Structure 1
Amino acid sequence: MAAVAAIIVAVVTMSANRGWTGTSVEVALIVVALIAVGIALTGYARSARHAQDCQAMAAVADRVLAVDTASASSDVMPAALLGGARGLLRAREVWLYLMEHGDRPAAVVHAGASGSAVDDGRPITDALFAPALSGNARLYVRGQRGLPAPISAALCRRGVDRLATVPVRDDGGDVIGVLEVSSDRRLRRRDLPRVEAVAEHLGHALVTAATLQGLREECEVDRLTGLVSANHYATAVYKWQRTAGVAPQSTAIAVFSVDTYDELNDSLGYDAVDDLLRVLADRLRAATPSDAPVARIGHDSIAVTMAAAGDRIAAEQVAAIQAEVDRPCDVLNGMRLDLPLTVGIARGGRAGGNVDELLRSAEVALYHARRMGASPTTYSPALDARRNSRLRLVVALREALEQDQVGVVFQPMISLRTNQMIGVEALARWNDPRHGPISPERFVSAAERSGLIGGLTRYVLARALQPCRHWLDQGRRIGVSVNLSARSLLDEAFIDDVAELLGNADVPPGMLTFELTERNVISEPERALPNLHRLRRLGVRLSVDDFGTGYSSLGYLRRLPIDEVKIDKTLVLGMASDLGGPAMVRAIVELGHSLGLSIVAEGVEDQTTRDLLTTMGCDVIQGYLVSRGLPAEQLNRWMQGDGEASMPHRPSGAHVSR
């Protein structure tokens, strides 16, 4: 506007000097026109600055996504944000003071011209930070009338003319830190909302990081004993082998099991047995080298990892551990109980280098030790009666696939936004003519170990695409999800088979989703990731299944070309009763949405859980509340209305796709 005023004065002056005789009305019109132009230019400039600010703020928020959650609980997350915040605010320096107790910060994070840095905590100047600690934003200007002497001194020490302090809050509104922004000239009172917006991003990032860290610990640690969880044990052993330099063939696993667990459970109850398991866990942990993983792998069994070059060395180590552990212990109400244990041992040189196979071999030895009363027992192939049974199972499964005796059922998935069925998960079911129904866990596990899993996956995929084509012909766009094993993912020929099956069924690739677990990818990432990208280029959708039981890493998810995350049903099932469950599920929902992923919750069995998931913004649900897995013909009737009575309560106006 100052420039426009100068132009007006110049125009009037030149007109007078040149003898222009326009009327006062004409002069007024010119002045009004110039003022209008000035207002428009000013508005445009403000709009442009606002757009730039929005883009810069989005860039600052994107920095959160660039930080792996493995380091999110440290100061890396706020340091990554501060670098972008400094540019957005056109600031000289930006400081973040993270609070621990009172006015003593846990850490100080700084972003300046030389980059970002993290320092240990230091005291906060009371006068300068008092308003922010009370929840109020302030702008201080050196030389300002009435500025208290301590604040003027603080500005002088920093060598800045202008400084703003704003509170950083958690999701509950409590102050968890102070953001300080300093500038020589540019910082104005109108900039405070932008500083507060940056502080809001920081607070959300810190809370999310803490929640995800809790989720990771929840998945990696057994709640009762504090040992490594069963789901995380293999990963922990692989990491231990790398860091300790232990070869797979020199790795041994001993499984310790409480002999009288069931009897104690029946006579004393869960609380006493839980105490017993905690004592056993503590003793085994104390008797094992600190870096070797110790995991609770069953309700009454704990696995101990050892480095042993031979069976005799492994047996000697187990004897030494058992001598430390096998003695009476005090449990609930001061009761003193013996701790009788049975032990099964397996070593990589005999049982192979795969951790899962090694653990199964130790369990075979444990089974034999219990049956024969010979503890400890070391695994040998002669003991593996299970393997013979498994071989017969694989032969029968191969015959069943050849004779088309394996069935496929479809479990519906419902959009929480529209309450419409948007997809199904195809699940294999086998009813053997001689032995009756065989559980999927049993025959799928046998197929994976025998190499038959590729044939089983192709079998299920071919039969899943047939009804998908039928639904398309009826005008229903219902996608189908199929589980993808690690072996199939690493098989390059499998991807060509997928393309052929899609073409034969005349189904668009985008209608097919492959579900894979994090563990399937991390087993051999160098081979898995290129094949995932090949599937993605084919047009197939990809989903991470059972999320929340593995790494649950933001950085890891960002590497995968995925469209969807499925929350593990164990987390979903505990939402209604577990106080910590909803917070963890909410963290996964927010994490997935921040990456542009669709979120599916499986294992939804009650209306309370559905309502919680709806409130959290979850996209899709699957579980018995909607329907169990149904054969294609029965599912068609269900979609036509026969199954509507079994649908959960729907808000007024919502309907199910028919």
Structure 2
Amino acid sequence: MDVQQGTAAPRRRRRPSAPEQRVLGISAALVVLTAASLWAAPPVPAGIGGLVGAVALPWWVLALGYAATEATVLHIQVKREAQTVSVSELSLVLGLFFAGPPALLAGRLVGSATVLLLHRRSTPLKTAFNLALAAAETAVAVLCFHVLAQVGQSAPALWLAALAATLLANTVGIIAVGLVIAAFEGGLRPRELARDVVAGQPATPVVVAVALVAVTSLAADVRSAGLLLLAAAGLLIAYRAYASLSDRHLNLERLYRFTQAVTSSPEVDVVLSSVLGEARELLKSERAEVAFPAPGGGHVARVRLGPSGRLSRSEEPLTPADEWLLRAVVGDDEAQLLPRTTRDAAARAWLAARAAREAIAVPLRGGAGTVGVLVVTDRLGDVRTFDDSDVLLLETVANHASVALQNGELVDRLRHEALHDALTGLPNRAFLQRRLTGALDDVRDGRSAGAAVMILDLDGFKDVNDTLGHQQGDRLLVEVGARLGAAVGAAGTVTRLGGDEFAVLVTDTADEDRVVRLGRRLLRALEQPVALDGLEVEVGGSLGIALAPVHATDAAGLLKRADVAMYDAKGAARGLRVYGADLDTADPRRLTLVAELRAALATGGIEVHVQPQARVTTGEVVGVEALVRWDHPELGRVSPEEFVPIAERTGLIGPLTTHVLDRSLAACAAWRAGGHDLAVAVNLSARSLYDADLVDEVARLLARHDVPAGRLTLEVTEGSVMADPARAIALLHQLRDLGVRLSVDDFGTGYSSLSYLKRLPVHEVKIDRSFVMGLQSGAEDVAIVRAVTDLGRHLDLEVVAEGVEDAATWELLREVGCDLVQGWYLGRPMPAAELLPWLRSRPAARGALRAV
């Protein structure tokens, strides 16, 4: 039985990747096996057992037989891969008895090539491998059959010879496919391969038996060929009908369970998780999401199911590609099938915008008509693609979901949650951006006199969290939100930006005095203590104000200037500050960097360099640390210490972290493809530990680049954890459960490190460079490094030392028992693309390091 394993296609490159080169090598070996088997096969005299040579089958008849059997297949989905099972043994057995080796081989290759190129439309690499495999299987079967035919020449003996030849040919196929899977996934699994060889051919004896019945009938009377063709056609039809019936039965079971889950739970998240999870499972797709167009247009609310099973929500501007899909599905109330082979320009533009190969989009209907779109993209494996039956299946899921949508204002809740803070119930940053953009449009068009933004940051909130815990900190934020709302009333809109930052938008005013009076009212609302856990807690705030059109005419600029004013108010302990040009005279770079950081992220101006890490005992490079770099076209190299805090203050730290993770994992995948299984470490900022979507984002990027989670290390500083230990430790546990390695960076420079280290789910500690660089000049630094190393050993943590700049420091670190080192003595930071050439050029350096 011919079995082909569907694997994920490698990324396209100008020259073959390492796995592709291995596949080409396997194909070449199969060609050699084919030639050797045909050369060694002894001739079989015609007429043996009254069967061999009784009928002469030309090559084109065998080609038709192979094409028919391989085109009529059963697709079986196993987890993330698809298998194609055919009954091509029918043609093989007939060819062994009634055709010579050349005709059998020609028929097999022509028939297989026809199916691969015209029916399955396989890639050139897959076509080459499958044809080489088909030739090798045929040649091995011929050799086995001819050798055994010399031993026993009775009809039963020839039957056993045909069965043995077929089983041996399939064994060659199973081993070859296993080698190809190992080439892409890394590492051969001999036990699984042996199990497949022994138990992976359950239907082969049955198919061979049917083929031998045909052989016997044709040898007795060639006119029985018509009856055999009718019987074979009936078997193939029944075969496909059974497969289809089995598939429908499984889908019905899943739909039944899905219907129960949707109708029995009133929870919105449970309903959405069921809808998206079932859509993804039924259609074996990579991703599933629900999109709801905003009532006023211009935006779309999305709900996605992440790799970890958690829901994420976002409010995004409506792109032209999205507008086309929503108009086609919501406006016309029609499902859309976007197959891999589509030539429709709009469909291809949408797929390109979503980085997808194929998709299905069906309408979600509510009480007032179609309210949204259910979308699945990218079927798992390369064997099957979405078709019309999948559209009907997804429409069934959508119809069940529509019942839940009509159950009670689900769409309104989704839109509300996308634009409001879950803790305080206040509007969130996305809401503020939309409302502020509209207000500034009114100012620009003369419909409004002006607008103002106030940003308020709480003073002392960290102390509340550290002392009373995360739960009491949340209660404080809820109380602050309520007080600010009461103080503002109808004069403006209070929003929560995240953490302990709030903002107030005041529209249709250019009166600075009025806005300042409102700001002082906000600060007075915080003067009364808040009762928390039996204690009277006092918390103040620092407020920054910026007005349009005086200070800025765009939303980003106005928010940045209000943020600058707030930080000045906090630093000067004055409580409230209105933005002024004098705030930037001391550092004219600040506003330039704030304005251009977002553009640099969008245009690729932010780069990722890497610095190697090696084992102290051998000098072997086992990983790298990713270092973010910004080469400004006018200002030159901008230090991360300068622009990372700006990203944190302006809300760009999320996109910056995603960019660095994406580029680092892409480089890691390229190194793995080149034969270097290196780990990569990425720093997380303190603000990243407040990002509820960080875990899903990390999981998505790991899956996108096919990098094992254990190859990624996320570094956090003591200070970032101490800012909110309860929340940070909970997030770190989620990342560890994902399989990601965790590291404490700059260890020893913070406070409470020993008391919290045993609670942190980390794998390593990184000694700060200030201690490492002072090893040769002071006994105190040696004692600190030795203590940290001993502590790491007792806690089963790896210890990394950074800042190694000479051989003597390397030797001292080896003596104290440090595990990994990093520094200029090993290698300076370099662009990620230069790492592999650097590794190939350092054999001598490696030997020198071992001699240290």
Which structure carries more relative contact order (alpha carbon 8 Å, separation 6+)? 1
Same fold (TM over 0.5): no
Using the size of structure 1 for normalisation, the TM-score is 0.43
Q: TM-score, normalised by structure 2?
A: 0.33
